[in-house]
A and B are shown apart, each in its own frame.
Chain A
């Protein structure tokens, strides 16, 4: 269908008072020959929208340029159907609310923004959703313990088919060994019975769930809605096609043989919490050394946890687990002396009631660091401890049994770092911060970047985002339960249900060709113009989600349903062969080229700002909402992620005579805030490279600047923008200006 652009300029909210709107109209109709251009004093009103609708219906307008308020607002008002491309010109927040009315520079800014948007509207196409083949909406659950069983049951209860794979011959995992769970219901004072067999029965009895026990995942290839899973079951092979995956392989107790300083391995009566639970499960709680009853027990908390020599993190469940086990002893015999050695007793939330109950039951709580577990010379064990802070000895008690509350180690962390393909000799080394992928033999993904989900700190394949705890770095694969973070049973079961919904959501969105979080619903996806590919591997290396595979000749093999639409690949590609229908190197490049750059003697420098649309761009809006002012030389282009910035844009801008380029991206580093994980970091790396080039061209590298900005840093923006403008003035005009 032929494109017909309609430009609509709102004169409300102060726009008409501050700008020469007739001149704006002239830009559209004169310079850009836009066939339909209208002004309205209240464009978002029913009447204003009717005006646009009439043009859509009667004039065949199908690409709308709305010059009014920020694209952050009035999204509904200016939605005329998915097939009508809408481009918003932010005249309100980023022009008239943040620059003086009636000023020549303000007018030039508005006109440039209109030019840029008209250019974009001309270049972009409405996205056509990706259609995969033989799509599956089934959910694969890896791991048949408490979390995996719960995820399977919950997904099935919502109407979805599930394939459950468990490595041992029986379902139940760690929970098989567990007598009771800590309290989850009022009055929260007693361990509670949990019907694991009932849960297993629900899963095995469901006609929606296919269970593989004694099985492991040999290989998973493909992408969301098209994952092909090879399952190895006792020597035989099975194949399943699934849409999304819940990883629920759990954790294992920390290896107690490393805790010799706490007596493990030296004294048979020093055991671990899981060994004690097994004794209770078997109904035989005896001293391993002599089979005699236990007439005194000490629990040592943080055995291996919160210890830089062992597990630096807190294992989150062991305090409460030990309280529960202490309660077993007190319930069996209230007279049994029970000691709990702890640093901080982390009975969070309603577990406080269990803690209080045990205090009433007469458990001795000793706050201290255990310094030794030794023979007391009378056939029992003496536990000595010192104060956590003062290091003075505080206690030495004799007991029959010592229980080490060992922490949890994620099964995803049990593997050697996977070495990605090294660049061949003579190839340029990519200085990309590679993810740590541990070959833990859980999923065995046929992904170019490695076979498992990238591991975060301590090997947990967790989300780094507080607001989005299910954001793993592999689309459609959601870790749940103790594999992803230390947690207790109750939270693991909730986590299982949450991950099951994320898996369901992924298959539903993917089946419609839509992106999942954070660009949920986006129908665009990257297309590769392969004839010009030079097999440089940047896209396959840099994709934060491992979406792109590679053939043996290093050609990229995109998997659109793994893609999150950030455009990092587009930014990485030196040949500029990766494009979205509505977002490409060419589209943004043309926007830059359509900025009008005044001649040198006009002394009106120009600054291109590439701003992350998630954080920096809203922050720029906030400057306007607060009616603060900043330099009018800036021209802002929002980008999906700063990682989508292609260096050619900088070259385009500089050769056009633009004096400086400011990149506004999210914070990177350990506490990164980039929604696409490493977009801003990649942009920063790319920028440092172009600086070398600029220096060679005797073009001051100071003309390109990178600032990390969070969404609430709007107070600093005027200073950043004005400061950069003033530094550029000191540098003098871009020497390429008048070419």
Chain B
């Protein structure tokens, strides 16, 4: 508005996932210059690796495509991938930030043609698939990747192969001597939207994740069900590629547990209900068992819960699952649990067990380089930082729709920080 006099109407959004993209775009479409800083080589964050959203069972790429188009069409949005913020100094409305960019070894001349990948021989664990598959050392992170630009893995830098990769590019896009660089920006406010990480399931020793091949986490299961995942969307047992006929979901794997995450992660109930449909939609003879404490399907999500619950192939068992053991011969995994309704001790074998691991805010480990406050579990506190406004899962564990809502609110708070002065 005209009565606002401020030189610095620009915002920095840290994190290019659903929360960050939303905060950035909502602010940019209100007329503010926005910079997005994303650690990965592509925008989209964690949702890009998911198969479908609950409760509509629609693909995340659909909404991402719209958001990417909003970026492409809006000159007020600039973004940096493979980038991190290393310093934030100043007062709300007048901040100096330093951004560090890791080398991609591919510059903006890249057309996405893929000749570099053809020249590459080394295969590296595919980070997009959490290492469940491999990818050439010159790779496009995934087919919807935005920007559509290849990455050269640092593993081959300095080798003869790297020279070959460079020679294969007719456009001069491969730059093997690219180095890490840093630069400064002046912005009015920062939205911190670095999202979440799955709780490290290996810490729940009795579930045997990392030991038993057929015990996976919910984020891995998303990849197993995705058409662009390691099995092209066909759900198979990791141990032997056999079809999964009988799956168990263990809720609150780490969440609502004083020894792990004392809070409820808010989304895992619905995620498991959704994931049960992945398998049941693929195989009419498959069955799913969900071990839960409470099914927290809030609001209209109740409809989705009711729909899945009504499927006779789905069984809900109110029980906190105990130990999981593996039959080394067959790969079958056995879940032990006490049914809280009947008091019976259950011991049942499954083809696959999915641990509904909870959300850990990224800020539990990767702190904001500014004077900000966190709660005991590393969630970034609202309003604590003045110029650093948390959005989405760094603030509290929430689903996608709530993250977007939260990010929109955070964008307004950031705008206020720039107009207040």
How long is the Cα–Cα vector from A494 to B391 in the complex, in angstroms? 10
Q: Which residues of A522-574 have CB atoms within 8 Å of chain B's CB atoms?
A: none
Residue A491 at the B interface, CB < 8 A?
yes
Known: A509-B29, A626-B143. A76 touches B72 (CB 8 A): yes
Tell whether, in the assembled complex, residue A518 and residue B66 are in contact, meaning their CB atoms are under 8 Å apart: yes
Known: A45-B171, A711-B65. A344 touches B296 (CB 8 A): yes
Known: A344-B294, A494-B405. A306 touches B30 (CB 8 A): no
Which residues does chain B contribute within 8 Å of A346, judged by CB atoms?
Answer: 294, 296-298
Residue A487 at the B interface, CB < 8 A?
yes
Residue A363 at the B interface, CB < 8 A?
no
CB distance from B235 to the nearest CB of A (A): 15
Most buried by B among A487, A494, A502, A673: A494
Within the complex, which residue of B59, B66, B297, B300 is in contact with A460, where a contact is CB–CB below 8 Å? B300
Which residues does chain B contribute within 8 Å of A464, judged by CB atoms?
Answer: 56
**What interface size band does chain B fall in?**
35 or more
Interface of A, secondary structure class, is loop
Most buried by A among B4, B56, B67, B233: B56
Tell whether, in the assembled complex, residue A710 and residue B30 are in contact, meaning their CB atoms are under 8 Å apart: no
Residue B401 at the A interface, CB < 8 A?
yes
Residue A415 at the B interface, CB < 8 A?
no
Which residues does chain A contribute within 8 Å of B295, judged by CB atoms?
Answer: 344
Tell whether, in the assembled complex, residue B264 and residue A159 are in contact, meaning their CB atoms are under 8 Å apart: no
B419, closest chain A residue (CB): A159
Which residues does chain A contribute within 8 Å of B262, judged by CB atoms?
Answer: 352-353, 356
Tell whether, in the assembled complex, residue B298 and residue A154 are in contact, meaning their CB atoms are under 8 Å apart: no
A457, closest chain B residue (CB): B300
Which residues does chain A contribute within 8 Å of B30, judged by CB atoms?
Answer: 501, 504-505, 508
Residue A486 at the B interface, CB < 8 A?
yes
Q: Which residues of B70-127 have CB atoms within 8 Å of chain A's CB atoms?
A: 70, 72-74, 109, 111-113
Residue B182 at the A interface, CB < 8 A?
no
Known: A313-B300, A316-B298. A520 touches B29 (CB 8 A): yes
Within the complex, which residue of B65, B171, B302 is in contact with A42, where a contact is CB–CB below 8 Å? B171
Most buried by A among B232, B256, B401: B401
Tell whether, in the assembled complex, residue B419 and residue A158 are in contact, meaning their CB atoms are under 8 Å apart: yes
How long is the Cα–Cα vector from A297 to B362 in the complex, in angstroms? 42
How long is the Cα–Cα vector from A712 to B341 in the complex, in angstroms? 41
Tell whether, in the assembled complex, residue A352 and residue B256 are in contact, meaning their CB atoms are under 8 Å apart: yes
B30, closest chain A residue (CB): A505
Tell whether, in the assembled complex, residue B3 and residue A159 are in contact, meaning their CB atoms are under 8 Å apart: yes
How long is the Cα–Cα vector from A467 to B1 in the complex, in angstroms? 28
Tell whether, in the assembled complex, residue B56 and residue A314 are in contact, meaning their CB atoms are under 8 Å apart: no
CB distance from A18 to the nearest CB of B (A): 12
Residue B375 at the A interface, CB < 8 A?
yes
Residue B322 at the A interface, CB < 8 A?
no
Within the complex, which residue of A159, A312, A460 is in contact with B1, where a contact is CB–CB below 8 Å? A159
Tell whether, in the assembled complex, residue A675 and residue B66 are in contact, meaning their CB atoms are under 8 Å apart: yes
Tell whether, in the assembled complex, residue B263 and residue A349 are in contact, meaning their CB atoms are under 8 Å apart: yes
Tell whether, in the assembled complex, residue A313 and residue B302 are in contact, meaning their CB atoms are under 8 Å apart: yes
Residue B323 at the A interface, CB < 8 A?
no
Known: A497-B412, A501-B415, A711-B59. A353 touches B263 (CB 8 A): yes
How long is the Cα–Cα vector from A494 to B419 in the complex, in angstroms? 19
Which residues does chain A contribute within 8 Å of B336, judged by CB atoms?
Answer: none
CB distance from B192 to the nearest CB of A (A): 15
Residue A604 at the B interface, CB < 8 A?
no
One of B153-161, B195-203, B392-400 at the interface:
B392-400
How long is the Cα–Cα vector from A574 to B120 in the complex, in angstroms? 56
How long is the Cα–Cα vector from A298 to B406 in the complex, in angstroms? 35
B26, closest chain A residue (CB): A501
Tell whether, in the assembled complex, residue B408 and residue A470 are in contact, meaning their CB atoms are under 8 Å apart: yes
Tell whether, in the assembled complex, residue B3 and residue A502 are in contact, meaning their CB atoms are under 8 Å apart: no
Residue A201 at the B interface, CB < 8 A?
no
Residue B299 at the A interface, CB < 8 A?
yes
Within the complex, which residue of A74, A349, A499 is in contact with B264, where a contact is CB–CB below 8 Å? A349
B255, closest chain A residue (CB): A352
Which residues does chain A contribute within 8 Å of B248, judged by CB atoms?
Answer: none
Which residues does chain B contribute within 8 Å of A509, judged by CB atoms?
Answer: 29
How long is the Cα–Cα vector from A306 to B408 in the complex, in angstroms? 30
Tell whether, in the assembled complex, residue A469 and residue B266 are in contact, meaning their CB atoms are under 8 Å apart: no
Residue A389 at the B interface, CB < 8 A?
yes
Which residues does chain B contribute within 8 Å of A14, judged by CB atoms?
Answer: 113
Tell whether, in the assembled complex, residue B56 and residue A671 are in contact, meaning their CB atoms are under 8 Å apart: yes
Tell whether, in the assembled complex, residue B294 and residue A160 are in contact, meaning their CB atoms are under 8 Å apart: no
Tell whether, in the assembled complex, residue A467 and residue B67 are in contact, meaning their CB atoms are under 8 Å apart: yes
Q: Which residues of A164-180 have CB atoms within 8 Å of chain B's CB atoms?
A: none
How long is the Cα–Cα vector from A487 to B58 in the complex, in angstroms? 23
Residue A185 at the B interface, CB < 8 A?
yes
Q: Which residues of B204-261 have CB atoms within 8 Å of chain A's CB atoms?
A: 226-228, 232-233, 256
A626, closest chain B residue (CB): B143
How long is the Cα–Cα vector from A505 to B415 in the complex, in angstroms? 12
Which residues does chain B contribute within 8 Å of A347, judged by CB atoms?
Answer: 264
Known: A390-B341, A615-B65. A466 touches B296 (CB 8 A): no
B374, closest chain A residue (CB): A186
A617, closest chain B residue (CB): B65
How long is the Cα–Cα vector from A188 to B233 in the complex, in angstroms? 41
Tell whether, in the assembled complex, residue A457 and residue B56 are in contact, meaning their CB atoms are under 8 Å apart: no
CB distance from B274 to the nearest CB of A (A): 12
Residue A351 at the B interface, CB < 8 A?
yes
Which residues does chain B contribute within 8 Å of A618, judged by CB atoms?
Answer: 61, 65, 144
Which residues does chain A contribute within 8 Å of B59, judged by CB atoms?
Answer: 710-712
Tell whether, in the assembled complex, residue A390 and residue B342 are in contact, meaning their CB atoms are under 8 Å apart: yes
Q: Which residues of A446-462 have CB atoms within 8 Å of chain B's CB atoms?
A: 457-458, 460, 462
Known: A159-B419, A465-B63, A625-B143. A348 touches B412 (CB 8 A): no
Which residues does chain B contribute within 8 Å of A345, judged by CB atoms?
Answer: 294
Q: Which residues of B148-171 have CB atoms within 8 Å of chain A's CB atoms?
A: 148, 170-171
Residue A516 at the B interface, CB < 8 A?
yes
CB distance from A264 to the nearest CB of B (A): 22
Within the complex, which residue of B62, B73, B379, B419 is in contact with A710, where a contact is CB–CB below 8 Å? B62
Query: Would you give 18 A-B contacts (Cβ < 8 Å), ordered by A?
Result: A72-B148, A154-B409, A157-B416, A158-B412, A312-B306, A313-B303, A315-B299, A316-B298, A349-B266, A356-B262, A389-B318, A458-B300, A465-B63, A495-B405, A508-B30, A520-B70, A710-B62, A712-B62
| Given A501-B26, A505-B30, 10 extra CB contacts under 8 A | A44-B111, A348-B264, A348-B296, A350-B263, A389-B318, A390-B341, A485-B300, A491-B402, A501-B30, A614-B62
The 4 closest A-B pairs by CB, nearest first: A467-B63, A498-B408, A497-B409, A344-B294
